[in-house]
C-alpha cells in the first residue's frame, strides 16, 4: 500500500476490458473526457486524479513514480478489478506506466505510451525541475501553467482551437502547489526505463503527436524500435496532447488496440 492515506478521485465506466488512463503533468482525469465518452462501448475506463491533482487530495511530498504507481494499482485493487488490464500513460503518466510494468507486470495485459519517453532526466533536466519547484514556491502554480501552456500544442491547435487551449489551462490550474512540486520531484528522480523496453512482452501501442515540442517524435520511434510487438502511430497536427487535439484519430487508434488486446485475452482463457 502507499505510505500515506488520502482521498483519491477517479472516473469509472463500463464493465468490460479495463483500461487505466494515467494523466500527465500537471493535468487530471479531465483530459481523458473525450476518451471516456468514446470508449464507453469498448472498455471500462478508470482515470484517476493523481495525488495533488484534479479533485484528489493535496498531499505533501516527497512523491516518486513508485508511489504514484502504487496509488494507481491500489485503486484498481480497491475497485476489485481483476487483472490484467490495459495501462495507458500520457507523458508523466507514461513514466508511471513503466513503473507499473516494472513492479507489477502481472497486472498489465496491454500498454499504451502516449507522448512520453523511456529515458531519465539529464542533469540539465533535473536542474530544470528544481528551478520549476522554486518557481512554484515563489510565484505559484499559475507561473508553471503560463510557461508550459504554449509548448503543449501544435501550430494548428494554437491557431484554431482556443476552446481546447482554455480547457487545458483550466485543468492545469486545478493542480495544487504540493501536487505540482511533488510531481516535479518524482519526474526528476525517476529511473531510466530504456533497458527494460526490450523485455516488455505485452502488446504495446505508442501514440505521439507529430509536432510535440516537449517530447520529440524521435523518442517514440526509439521506443518502437526497442519494444517487441509494438506499434507506433504518429498523429498529424497534434502536439503533446494528441488525445485532446485530434481526439477522433486518437480514439480510433486506441479502440482498435483495445479490441485486439481483448481478443488476445479471450484466446488465452
In tens, the pLDDT along 118-142 reads 999 999 999 999 999 999 999 999 9
Helix (H, G, I), strand (E, B) or coil at 29: helix
Q: Give the max Cα distance, the chain.
A: 55
Alpha-carbon distance 157 to 140, whole Å? 26
Task: Give the closest residue to 192 by CA, choosing from 112, 267, 102.
Answer: 102
Per cent of the chain over pLDDT 90 is 87
> Which grid cell is 45?
475506463
> SS3 letters for 117-185?
CCCCCCHHHHHHHHHHHHHHHHHCHHHHHHHHHHHCCCHHHHHHCHHHHHHHHHHHHCCCHHHHHHHHH
Rg of the chain, C-alpha, whole Å: 17
Per-residue pLDDT band for 264 (boundaries 50, 70, 90) equals confident
Per-residue pLDDT band for 1 (boundaries 50, 70, 90) equals very low
pLDDT in tens, 15-40: 679 999 999 999 999 999 999 989 98
Q: Is the pLDDT of residue 77 over 60?
A: yes
Query: How far does Cα 264 stand from its chain's mean position?
Result: 24
pLDDT for the residue 142: 98
Q: Which domains does the chain have, with CATH numbers?
A: 10-268 (3.40.50.1820)
Are residues 25 and 51 in contact, defined by beta-carbon separation less than 8 angstroms?
no
Alpha-carbon distance 193 to 34, whole Å? 29
Q: Is the pLDDT of residue 263 over 80?
A: yes
pLDDT in tens, 196-249: 999 999 999 999 999 999 999 999 999 999 999 899 999 999 999 999 999 999
Alpha-carbon distance 89 to 134, whole Å? 27
Amino acid at each position: 500500500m502507499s505510505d500515506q492515506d488520502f482521498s483519491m478521485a477517479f472516473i469509472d465506466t463500463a464493465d468490460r476490458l479495463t483500461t487505466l488512463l494515467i494523466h500527465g503533468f500537471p493535468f487530471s482525469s479531465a483530459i481523458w473526457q473525450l476518451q471516456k465518452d468514446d470508449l464507453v462501448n469498448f472498455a471500462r475506463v478508470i482515470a484517476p486524479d493523481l495525488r495533488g491533482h484534479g479533485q484528489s487530495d493535496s498531499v505533501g511530498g516527497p512523491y516518486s513514480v513508485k508511489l504514484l504507481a502504487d496509488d494507481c494499482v491500489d485503486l484498481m485493487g480497491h475497485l476489485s478489478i481483476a487483472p490484467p488490464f490495459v495501462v495507458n500513460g500520457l507523458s508523466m503518466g507514461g513514466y508511471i506506466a513503466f513503473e507499473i510494468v516494472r513492479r507489477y507486470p502481472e497486472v498489465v495485459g496491454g500498454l499504451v505510451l502516449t507522448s512520453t519517453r523511456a529515458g531519465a532526466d539529464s542533469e540539465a533536466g533535473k536542474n530544470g525541475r528544481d528551478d520549476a519547484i522554486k518557481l512554484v514556491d515563489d510565484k505559484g502554480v499559475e507561473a508553471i501553467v503560463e510557461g508550459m501552456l504554449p509548448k503543449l500544442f501544435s501550430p494548428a491547435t494554437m491557431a484554431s482551437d482556443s476552446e481546447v487551449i482554455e480547457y487545458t489551462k483550466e485543468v492545469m490550474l486545478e493542480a495544487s502547489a504540493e501536487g505540482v512540486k511533488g510531481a516535479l520531484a518524482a519526474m526528476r528522480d525517476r529511473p531510466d526505463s530504456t533497458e527494460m523496453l526490450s523485455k516488455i512482452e505485452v502488446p504495446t501501442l505508442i501514440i505521439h503527436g507529430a509536432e510535440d515540442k516537449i517530447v520529440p517524435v524521435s523518442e517514440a520511434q526509439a521506443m518502437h524500435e526497442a519494444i517487441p510487438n509494438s506499434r507506433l502511430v504518429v498523429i498529424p497536427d497534434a502536439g503533446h496532447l494528441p488525445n485532446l487535439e485530434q481526439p477522433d484519430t486518437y480514439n480510433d487508434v486506441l479502440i482498435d488496440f483495445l479490441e485486439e488486446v481483448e481478443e488476445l485475452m479471450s484466446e488465452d482463457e
